[in-house]
Structure 1
Amino acid sequence: MNKLLLLTAGFAAVLGMLESGILRIFRRWVGSIKLSCDMLAALQLWSPTLATVSFAINHTDHLAILAIKSSIIHDPQNVLDSWNTSFHFCQWQGVTCGRRHRRVTRLDLNLEALLRRDTSFLWKLHFSQNFIGPMYNLQLISFGFNHLYGTIPQFLLNLTSLKVLSIPNNSISGSLPKDIGLELPNLKILYIWGNKFTGSIPFSFFNCSNLLELELSDNRFTGKINIDLRRMPNLQVVGLGPNSLGSSEPDEMNFIDSMVNCSKLEIIYLGTNQLTGVLPNSIGNLSSQLIALSFSRNFIYGTLPSGIGNLVKLERLLIDSN
């Protein structure tokens, strides 16, 4: 049974787990962990007029998450038992509010509580727009390890404060919104692995300069890897396989050049795709912090660049089945 815990494990814990089967076990463990993110502090509203507005906003958040509860059709672990009038909604399991403004900043239902529920229920998060405004302070959405299906609701792009979007191991399909990186510039963690997403990876991710982890593995993405990672200096994990990425174009592998500026990269997983070409010499200029690098099960050929010896902390190099 999954438990909510604070994320304390470092990235080194993934060493030795990059092969497909073992990595999946690791991800199940990660999915049971409660992701942490920084909370925005809001100014205290002191005047009677502003206090009334603050109460109204607080009440609309309450109504919004009650609407979510009404949409959940199966709760085998009784996670939502605490969602009742005996407690303030900020004390409900899986709900976190700001310390001062008491607005919802995190929704974590990463507990396999949602059985065969279409993702249209996520529109309930936007329920409060009928009153004061949507839940703009929401910074974390975590609905991993459930049975969600459907597509990504367009309204998610309005949650501009969102820092963590974690919906791994569901059955969500369709393509990612092409402007996702422009509309969610504050994203730090994106976990959508283990779904049924299709189409190309949006170029707009270049705008997510605060991104720490980009995990798009175990989907059905296709086409050329066209992400410019140069503006992501804090990026630590890139997971893009298994997918069906590849274009057979001569510059197919040039995306590696854009990783050179990511000086904190520790894990790059590109295994089980359709990448074709020669590894560029720039691979030797990747982060000196890199501990795991996988290009296995692709169509890569040629010689291994000698500069790869510069990766002094590298412990796992997977290039089999090419």
Structure 2
Amino acid sequence: MELGHFSFVRYPAPACRFLLSSLALAPCFIQASSATNETDKLALLAFKAAAKDPYGALASWNDTVGFCHWHGVTCGPRHPRVTAPNLTSLGLSGPISPHIGNLSFLSEIDLQNNSLVREIPPQVGRLRRLRFLRLDNNSLAGEIPRNMSACSKLVVLSIPFNQLIGVIPTELGSFTKLRFLSFYKNALSGNVPSFFGNLSSPQVLQLTENNLGGSIPEDLGRPTSLHTITVSGNRFSGTIPPSLLNLSSLTQFGVLDNRIQGSLPAGLGLTLPNRQIFSISTNQLEGPIPPSVSNWTKLEVIQSGPNKLSGKVPSFGNMPRLWHFSIFDNQLGNGNSEDLSFVCSLTNSTRLDFFEIGWNRLGGAPPKCIGNFSCTLVVFDVSENLIFGAIPGEIGSLVNPHRLDMYSNKFSGEVPSNFGNLQNLGVLQLMDNNLGGTIPTSLGNLTKLIMLSLRWNNFHGEIPSHPSKCQSLR
């Protein structure tokens, strides 16, 4: 129908009602969007007001530009809503404002490496979209909020190097999607909840250096995706759960500095083929090191002392990546000539820089293959054993040792004169042996030497001159 210069289109009644209602509601949508945007802005300003900002990192948080352009603030691609404040290493201190719970679109909070204090605001539990929470290396105290269980989409929960107290809440069992959890170096106490075994695909669990106790739950070995578990520096007792020692996905395993007892299973090297780090030091473990560990071809670190391990040390010849080898302070060896037969197998570890077998019962003469050790070797420690015979001159051909500890053995003969070639040597301890002859004058060439211990031997003659840097000559 036409009337003058105006045209009218006749719409069906339902369509007309929809068009009119949409036009009527449009201002409401705009108003609601503006209100929610203002909520995000006010929440950020509340965070700024609570925090101390000595370096002015939050100076851009003002009305000059929109909050989506403020330093460290990320907004969503479709809506101007805050999705992630990334405020790492900015020197911020003071508390975390509880208004952070009003940022309802947050998927990530990253406040690592600051000096934030007080508690984690329980209002964080309102953030139903939150997937990553990183509060590493601050001074946060108080307990872990139990209502964080509402953040059921969490994938990463990382709060190491803080001062958290109390127990690990069982309510966190709702984090079924959690892959990375770290409470490293806090003051948490109580037992480890068994719900960790119910997570669908966890990969990393770090509980090191807390006050946790009781036994390590058998359920921890249930998820086949777990590749790192470290519970060192706690008060755990009992034995290592067989489920963890059978978990083929595990690459890093650390239980050092606890009260763990029992022995290592014979098939240990067969059930953990991907092992990279194996740390069981400072416990009460007994029995032998299983020969099957020779199958750990990816091993980089082994730490097994102090414990009460005994028997023959197996071969470690198939470990090209091994750089840290420590079986210190056990009861390994029997004082016989075959005790050091494993040593030559370590010449295949071309990255080896730490060799520590001191404080055992290892006997026999030191093999000359020591001279074939990695050129990266820094620490060589065979102290407090039953090793006898001459010190191999091949040690003097090593390129980079900073420390040679060979004290309290039964070494005889003279100190090799080529020890003077070890230009990076800072500590040389040969005390309490049967060494004799004169002290090589070449030791005076060791300009980095700060400790030289030769007492309780049979040396005679003059003490060679040495640069004034030498702080201890005993």
TM-score normalised by structure 2 residue count: 0.47
Gap change, CA 1:84 and 1:125, over 3 Å in 2: farther
Q: What do you get for the CA RMSD once the two structures are aligned?
A: 2.1
Matches within 5 A, 1:30-45: none
Aligned residue identity for 1:313:
N
Secondary structure of the structure 1 residue equivalent to 2:310: strand
1:237 matched to which residue of 2? 324
Following superposition, the deviation at residue 102 of structure 1 comes to 7.5
Aligned residue identity for 1:87:
C
Question: Residue 322 of structure 2 contacts residue 352 of structure 2 at CA under 8 Å; is this kept in 1?
Answer: yes
Gap change, CA 1:218 and 1:102, over 3 Å in 2: same
Gap change, CA 1:81 and 1:188, over 3 Å in 2: farther
Provide the rounded CA distance (Å) in 2 between the counterparts of 1:83 and 1:143.
25
Match of 2:249 among 155, 161, 177: 161
Aligned residue identity for 2:151:
F
Deviations 1:276-302 (A, max 9, x none): 111011111111110100001111111
1:86 matched to which residue of 2? 150
Match of 1:198 among 261, 276, 286: 286
Whether 2:205 is the aligned partner of 1:118: answer no
Matches within 5 A, 1:188-267: 188-226=276-314, 228-267=315-354
Gap change, CA 1:136 and 1:78, over 3 Å in 2: farther
1:36 matched to which residue of 2? none
Q: Which runs of 5+ in 1 are unaligned?
A: 1-76, 127-133
Provide the rounded CA distance (Å) in 1 between the counterparts of 2:212 and 2:144.
11
Aligned length: 233
Whether 2:189 is the aligned partner of 1:97: answer no
Secondary structure of the structure 2 residue equivalent to 1:307: helix
Following superposition, the deviation at residue 154 of structure 1 comes to 1.1
Provide the rounded CA distance (Å) in 2 between the counterparts of 1:238 and 1:204.
17
Question: Residue 219 of structure 2 contacts residue 243 of structure 2 at CA under 8 Å; is this kept in 1?
Answer: no
Higher strand share: 2
Following superposition, the deviation at residue 82 of structure 1 comes to 6.4
Provide the rounded CA distance (Å) in 1 between the counterparts of 2:408 and 2:157.
49
Provide the rounded CA distance (Å) in 2 between the counterparts of 1:199 and 1:92.
38
Question: Residue 262 of structure 1 contacts residue 287 of structure 1 at CA under 8 Å; is this kept in 2?
Answer: yes
Deviations 1:179-202 (A, max 9, x none): 111100101001111111000111
Question: Residue 246 of structure 1 contacts residue 273 of structure 1 at CA under 8 Å; is this kept in 2?
Answer: yes
Gap change, CA 1:164 and 1:82, over 3 Å in 2: farther
Aligned residue identity for 1:123:
E
1:149 matched to which residue of 2? 237
Following superposition, the deviation at residue 237 of structure 1 comes to 0.4
Provide the rounded CA distance (Å) in 2 between the counterparts of 1:83 and 1:154.
33
Question: Residue 288 of structure 1 contacts residue 310 of structure 1 at CA under 8 Å; is this kept in 2?
Answer: no
* Structure index of larger Rg: 2
Provide the rounded CA distance (Å) in 2 between the counterparts of 1:278 and 1:83.
63
Following superposition, the deviation at residue 93 of structure 1 comes to 4.0
Q: Which runs of 5+ in 2 are unaligned?
A: 1-140, 160-174, 181-198, 410-474
Matches within 5 A, 1:9-20: none
Match of 2:227 among 139, 150, 173: 139
Provide the rounded CA distance (Å) in 1 between the counterparts of 2:405 and 2:338.
22
Provide the rounded CA distance (Å) in 2 between the counterparts of 1:176 and 1:78.
38
Provide the rounded CA distance (Å) in 2 between the counterparts of 1:317 and 1:171.
31
Following superposition, the deviation at residue 83 of structure 1 comes to 8.0
2:368 matched to which residue of 1? 281
Following superposition, the deviation at residue 235 of structure 1 comes to 0.1
TM-score normalised by structure 1 residue count: 0.68
Secondary structure of the structure 1 residue equivalent to 2:342: helix
Secondary structure of the structure 2 residue equivalent to 1:317: strand
Secondary structure of the structure 2 residue equivalent to 1:259: helix
Following superposition, the deviation at residue 273 of structure 1 comes to 0.6
% identical aligned pairs? 31
Provide the rounded CA distance (Å) in 2 between the counterparts of 1:180 and 1:80.
36
Aligned residue identity for 1:108:
Q
Question: Residue 187 of structure 1 contacts residue 211 of structure 1 at CA under 8 Å; is this kept in 2?
Answer: yes
